[in-house]
Amino acid sequence: MMYGWTAPVVPILLGPDSPVKTTKAQAEWLENLLMLGSFSGLGITMYLVDKIGRKRSILFSSFVTLVLWIIKAVAPRIEYIFVARAFAGAAGNMAFVAAPMYIAEIADQKVRGFLSSMIYIQMLIGILLIYAIAPYVAIYTHCIVGGSLVFIELITFPFMPESPYYLLYKDKPLEAEKSLRKLRPSNCNIEKELEEIKTAVERQKTEKGRFQDLIMVPSNRKAILIMTLLNMAQHFSSISVLLMNLHVILEAAGSIYIESSTAAIIFAVIMVVAAATSSFAIDKYGRKFLLISSSILTGLCLMVIAIYFNLKNFGYSVESISWIPIVSVMLYACFFKLGLGMVPIVLTAELFPARMKAIGMTVADGTYVISALLSLQVYQQLSDNYGLQYPFYVFSLSCFGTASFTYFFIPETKGKTLEEIQFILKGIHVERKSGENDTML
C-alpha cells in the first residue's frame, strides 16, 4: 500500500480540496523519498537480519510501518508526510529482505517458489487496496486500513517460529529442531532434513562472509551479478513508473473509453491474478521459462505503448485507436507478473549461501532501490524533454535484453535444495539418487 500510495493520493493532494497543501515539486519528492529511504535503510537491514533474526526484523519493520500510517493520517503539513515516506522506504526495505530470506529458509524445496512468490501477491493486493480505496475516501480512512493490516501482523506473526537455518547459524540446535518440528507435518522425518541443513550451514560457515567476498568468490559474484541485473530489469521494464504514474500516463494517452482511476483498479486486479497464476506455475514450469517468456511479452507491450505515443506526439489522429494503450497496459500487468515481476524475488532468496545471505540480499535490494530511482529519472527526463514515447522505447529494449541474459546466464533452480543451488553456482555437477528428491551424491 505504501509502494502504490502516490498514484491515487498525489492527485488528491494537488487538488483544490487537498487536506495538506502540496505543490507539484513536493509531489514529485513523495515518489523519490520512498526510494531514498529504502537506500538509506540498507545498512541497518543488513545488520538486523543477522543480529536479531529474520522473524524479529519483519516484526520491527511492521511496527515502524504502523507508526507511519498514524503519522500520515494526522499529518498537518507536507513535511510530516515527507518523513513518513522516507521511513516507509527503510521499513519496506527491511521487510523485502527479511521476508524472502525467512520463507526460503523455512520452506520445503518443492514449494519454496510458490511460498516465496506469495510475498509479491500480497504486495499486489496492497496496491489494489490503495488504488480501490484512496480515490474515494478521506486520507485518514485508507491509513486506518493500512494500519489495521499491519496491526494484525503484529499480533499474529510472533507465534511463528524463527528460521531453522538462522538458529543453526547462531549455534542453537535445540531451538532449530523445535522450529523445524513446528514447520513440518507431524509424520515427517525431520532428523534427516535437520542434518542436511546443519551440514549446509557448517560448510557455508567455513566460507568467508566479508563484503568483498561478493566479488572475490566466483559463486557469490555470479549470484550478485544475476540479482543486480534482474533487479535492474524489473524497474527498467517500467514497473515503478507505471505503479506511481499510471493515472497520469493513461490520461496523457487520451482514452475516451475508461476513466484512469477505474483502469488503475483493473490493472491492479490483473496483476494479482497473474501473480497468483505464476505462484502455482513457478515450481512446475521453472524460473527460466517464465522469466524469458514474460520478458519478451512485456517488451512487446511496452513497444506498442511507445509507438502509440510516437504517433500521437507527431500529430497523427489516434482517437479511433485510443483503446490501444489501455489494452497494452492491462496485458503488461498480466505478462509482467507471470515471470519478470515474480521470479527475481524467488531467486534472491535462493542464490546466496547462509554466510553471505544478509549481505547479498541487502546489496541486491540496494540495486533494486537504485534502479527504481534511475527508472523514475529516465521516465521524468525523457518524457519532459523529448516525449512520452522515448522512455517506453528504453524500457521495451531492456525487457528484450533481460530475456537474452536469462537464457544464457541464469541457472534453473526449480526443485533444488539451497545447498544444491550453491554447487550449481560453483560449477559442480550434482546428481540425485533414483527415487529420492532430497539426496545428493
pLDDT band at 336 (very low <50, low <70, confident <90, very high): very high
**Is the predicted pLDDT of residue 440 greater than 80, yes or no?**
no
Among the residue ranges 3-17, 241-255, 366-380, the one predicted with the least confidence is 241-255
Cα angle 414, 417, 423 (rounded to 5 degrees) comes to: 95
The model carries a pTM of 0.71
DSSP string, 337-374: HHTTTTHHHHHHHHHS-GGGHHHHHHHHHHHHHHHHHH
pLDDT band at 434 (very low <50, low <70, confident <90, very high): very low
For the ranges 10-24, 142-156, 322-336, the one whose mean pLDDT is highest: 142-156
Residue with cell 483493473: 266
DSSP code of 161? P
pLDDT at 257: 67
pLDDT (tens digit per residue) in 191-219: 888 888 888 788 766 665 677 778 888 88
pLDDT at 438: 41
For the ranges 29-43, 203-217, 396-410, the one whose mean pLDDT is highest: 396-410
User: What average pLDDT does the segment 115-121 reach?
Assistant: 80
Nearest to 440 by CA among 221, 199, 207: 199
Residue with cell 533414483: 434
pLDDT at 439: 35
Q: Which amino acid is at 75?
A: A
Question: Which of 357 and 148 is assigned the larger pLDDT?
Answer: 148
pLDDT band at 301 (very low <50, low <70, confident <90, very high): very high
Burial class of residue 308 (count of CB atoms within 10 Å of its CB; 0-12, 13-18, 19+): buried
User: What average pLDDT does the segment 153-175 reach?
Assistant: 92
* Residue 420, phi then psi, degrees to nearest 5: -60, -40
Among the residue ranges 134-148, 188-202, 369-383, the one predicted with the least confidence is 188-202
Residue with cell 499491519: 150
- Residue 403 CA to residue 278 CA, distance in Å, equals 17
User: What average pLDDT does the segment 44-61 reach?
Assistant: 91
CB 45 within 8 A of CB 93: yes
Buried b (16+ CB within 10 A) or exposed e, 110-123: eebbbbbbbbbbeb
CB 313 within 8 A of CB 389: yes
**Is the predicted pLDDT of residue 308 greater than 50, yes or no?**
yes
pLDDT at 404: 94
C-alpha cell at 352: 546466496
Report the mean per-residue pLDDT for the chain: 85
Question: Which of 237 and 364 is assigned the larger pLDDT?
Answer: 237
Instruction: Using a pLDDT cut of 90, give the percent of the chain over it.
Output: 32
pLDDT at 204: 67
Q: At what angle do helices 324-338 and 260-281 cross, to 10 degrees?
A: 30
* Residue 432, phi then psi, degrees to nearest 5: -110, 150
First to last CA, the chain: 46
**Is the predicted pLDDT of residue 436 greater than 60, yes or no?**
no
Nearest-10 Cα torsion for 69, 87, 61, 92: 100
DSSP string, 198-234: HHHHHHHHHS---TTHHHHSHHHHHHHHHHHHHHHHH
Domains, the chain: 6-171+215-425 (1.20.1250.20)
CA distances from 301 to 25, 298, 327, 397, 430 (A): 30, 5, 9, 11, 39
Q: Which amino acid is at 144?
A: I
C-alpha cell at 27: 509531489
pLDDT band at 147 (very low <50, low <70, confident <90, very high): very high
Nearest to 391 by CA among 264, 231, 248, 242: 242
Nearest to 89 by CA among 410, 365, 413: 365
CA distances from 73 to 96, 152, 404 (A): 24, 18, 46
